[in-house]
Amino acid sequence: MKPRPFRIWLQSRTIRISVAGLILVLLTGATWQYYGAIQSMYTKAQLVIAVLERVHEDYVDEKNPDDLVENAISGVISSLDPHSTFMTAEDFDTWNQNFEGYSGIGIYFDIIQDKITIMSVISGGPSDAAGLHAGDRIVGISGVSAIGLKRDDVPLKLMGPRGTKVKISVERRGWTTIRDFLITRDEVHIKSVPYAFQLQNSTGYIRINRFSATTGKEFEEALKDLETRGMSQLILDLRQNGGGYLDAAVDIVDNLLPGGKRIVYTEGRVKNAFREYFSTERATHPLIPVIVLIDRTSASASEIVAGALQDWDRALIVGESSFGKGLVQSQYRFQDGSALLMTTARYHTPSGRVIQRAYDGKSLVDYYTEIDNDSLRNASDKDKSRPIYQTGLLKRPVLGGGGIQPDVFLKAKSDTLTEILRDLIFSPKRLFFTFSEAYVRKHPELKKDFHLFLQDYYADTPTLQLFLSYIRQQGFKISNSDFNKNQQQIAFLLKQNIAAEIWDDEARYKTQMLRDNQLLEAIGYFPESDKLLARAYPSASRSVNK
């Protein structure tokens, strides 16, 4: 069967360019000076359509017209910058969930032994309200067996419009029968501030994973809570944070800076790309010493926060030089639900530094992989040709030319996981998780004070041998030699999983922090942060931990 003519298909997809529409935009939104450029672009667009039509109708192999158009769009986008992108409707919805949330039942899950296993429950979500726990197995959805359901099909069954209901059948260790829960779907916001707690010596710790629609509110609530507990100094952890919404970054800085100070500004090719954002007195919290932790993957909104606090001498920036992503993406939605995220401006820190690092002449692969090349990063950090700027109050020199260079360099510990250990951790059977479930049931004496557990517990030789026997019974192949070589790492991972099983994910994270040498070393720089604050803001409150 001969396929429909490409132009007819194109018209049915409402992608056809309208000359009248272009002229209307020209007359109402711009000036006549762009008419020639628009007319030339339309002529070229017609050529592209003609080429696509010939390929679709006459090429030796039949090609999907959707793929042809999307590949043509990809060709256009690839000639821009590394961060402009085109998303299909499905891709955009998935991406948007990370920042806006979604309507569902509020769980993180995995498929273990063909069953939907709840790995954690989102606090305040529908499943949390219903009393579901990590470790519960969902074996039925809406009266139909969910055993053997593929991972990608689970969200299609559990997500849905807000206010609708879904019945799930749950089995839990210790229950003699399967129980049904009727859960009302609701908006679920993935927390962007997953951890906020007190460390030793009145040191507050807040980690931000992403900058989403709720980040500003979450951060302010965390600050207030820590302040009521007597926090006198703060670590703001932005490591591995790839960014997100600009407004969220502005909100974070606004909480930490006195009013009237420029936080960030944007400039682009067109006049309306210029924007300025200033701090207000409304949100400012008491000025205490702050250390901001960044690494080579801290990007975009993370760099806006770090750059603003550094430029106003408000925080000591510690860690590694950041990624260097300072391009403003404007969002354009189309009729079919797809979206274009296109760069329209560049971010500048208050002192004028351009956050974006150079990308011209680099392949996309080189652009993204060079951040892991230590020699290239060291050369960039020491490059004497980079422009030098000054901070706003103390006139300290800070480097421009891309990314935020820390005040104190602390290299992150390299990933030392062996291949066999990596296979063990990421086994589809989630062997650490399932072993810890059974182990905790047999050892109720472990359910004591968490701080004692954190300080004293270590997986001893009998426990390690029990784990070795268990993973072999589950079909995981590992030699005695390989197990012994990785024994210390395995013991620590068991401690993390046992902590999560007894308490929660925050307990796992606090256990992990025992090996976070970069964080532990950063805490030692609070005297420098305190001195910086005293010089820049003489009337600020002083830290009690000198």
Rounded to 5°, the CA angle 374-379-385 comes to: 155
- Tokens 């049915």, located at residue: 12
Give Cα 257 to chain centroid, integer Å. Answer: 24
Burial class (CB in 10 A: 0-12, 13-18, 19+), 521: middle
Do strands 339-348 and 388-390 pair parallel, antiparallel, or not at all (unpaired)? unpaired
Tally the C-alpha atoms within 13 A of residue 448's C-alpha that lie toward its C-beta. 10
Residue 127 is a catalytic residue: no
Q: Which is nearest to 423 in space by CA: 505, 479, 507? A: 479
Q: Give the whole-angstrom CA distance, residue 293 versus residue 316.
A: 9
H/E/C letters for each residue in 425-487?
Answer: HCCCCCHHHHHHHHHHHHCHHHCCCHHHHHHHCCCCHHHHHHHHHHHHHCCCCCCHHHHHHCH
Q: 395: alpha, beta or left, given left = phi > 0 and alpha = psi -120 to 50?
A: left
Return the percent helix, strand and coil in the chain, to nearest 5. 45, 20, 40
Structure tokens at 80: 């821009």
**Greatest Cα-to-Cα distance within the chain, rounded to the nearest angstrom:** 82
Residue 311 is a catalytic residue: yes
To which H or E segment does residue 167 belong? strand 165-171
- The catalytic residue among 325, 380, 495, 529 is 325
How many beta carbons lie within 10 A of that of residue 281, not counting itself? Answer: 10
Q: Which is nearest to 171 in space by CA: 131, 140, 129? A: 140
Burial class (CB in 10 A: 0-12, 13-18, 19+), 287: middle
- The catalytic residue among 298, 300, 302, 436 is 300
DSSP state of 391: -
To which H or E segment does residue 98 belong? helix 89-100
275 neighbors 265 (Cβ within 8 angstroms): yes
* Residue 60, amino acid: V
The number of helix segments (H) and strand segments (E) in the chain equals 21, 21
DSSP state of 134: T
Residue 224 is a catalytic residue: no
Q: Give the whole-angstrom CA distance, residue 39 versus residue 46.
A: 11
320 neighbors 373 (Cβ within 8 angstroms): no
Q: Give the whole-angstrom CA distance, residue 292 versus residue 306.
A: 7
Q: What is the DSSP string of 249-273?
A: HHHHHHHHS-TT-EEEEEE-SSGGG
Q: 149: alpha, beta or left, given left = phi > 0 and alpha = psi -120 to 50?
A: beta
Q: Is the dihedral of CA 298, 304, 310, 316 positive or negative?
A: negative
- The catalytic residue among 311, 313, 407, 530 is 311
- Tokens 């910086």, located at residue: 532
Q: Give the whole-angstrom CA distance, residue 184 versus residue 181.
A: 10
Q: What is the set of active-site residues?
A: 300, 311, 325
